[in-house]
Amino acid sequence: MRKPPVLAIVVPCYNEEEVLPITCGLFKAELDDLLAKGKVAPGSHVLFVNDGSRDRTWEIIRELAASDPAYRGCSLSRNRGHQNALLGGLMEARGHCDATISIDCDGQDDIATMEQMVDAYLDGCDVVYGVRSSRETDTFFKRFTAQSFYRLLESMGVECVYNHADYRLLGAAALDGLSQF
């Protein structure tokens, strides 16, 4: 079993001024719970990545970072898109932590499953996917396009985890591998 990691929760943000004040507390509460249980090490933090937001998102991130060392932020020079913001955040966190968990800012992923991800890391896993058990809350269009996407990938012979999202844990070795792309 591994020692508790310094964990960075990486949260890409684009125009999130309405939801960020709500979800930041949820991320911090989960981090505090993991710290209290001894599952993550001191120095663990939430890293918000501003993806060129046009609202007050970056101001809110700066205020959070100034108010509590568990909150950190970085800002892209302009809007680069969700996946680029996510990658930028992972690369920013790399070298400053033992593991990252990436999660969307909107709070739709089950934050409480972070503990299971960390447990899997402690047991030796370097990559842990968050996989949706259901898409019932998605609109018809979102369900249809997601299912079509996975069918297309499958038809092309791509190996992928069905219904996974950007909600995942990556250990330092996986982050180092990702940085080589």
| Buried-exposed string 39-62: b where 16+ CB fall within 10 A, e elsewhere | bbeeebbbbbbbbbbeebbbebbb
Q: Which two tokens stand for residue 126?
A: 């370097």
Residue ranges in the chain whose pLDDT is less than 50: none
Per-residue confidence (pLDDT) for residue 19, from 0 to 100? 97
Per-residue confidence (pLDDT) for residue 142, from 0 to 100? 64
In 10 A of CB 163, how many CB atoms?
A: 15
Per-residue confidence (pLDDT) for residue 21, from 0 to 100? 96
Q: Which two tokens stand for residue 56?
A: 């007050």
What distance in Å separates the CA atoms of residue 150 and residue 158, rounded to the nearest whole number? 9
What's the pTM? Answer: 0.86
Contact by Cβ (8 Å): 108, 15: no
**pLDDT tens digits, 160-170:** 655 556 799 99
- N-terminal to C-terminal alpha carbon distance within the chain: 29
Q: Which two tokens stand for residue 31?
A: 């981090």
Residues 6+ apart with CB under 8 A from 76: 49, 50, 51, 52, 84, 85, 88
Per-residue confidence (pLDDT) for residue 15, from 0 to 100? 97
Per-residue confidence (pLDDT) for residue 42, from 0 to 100? 98
CATH superfamily of 7-132+165-179: Spore Coat Polysaccharide Biosynthesis Protein SpsA; Chain A (3.90.550.10)
What distance in Å separates the CA atoms of residue 133 and residue 172, rounded to the nearest whole number? 27
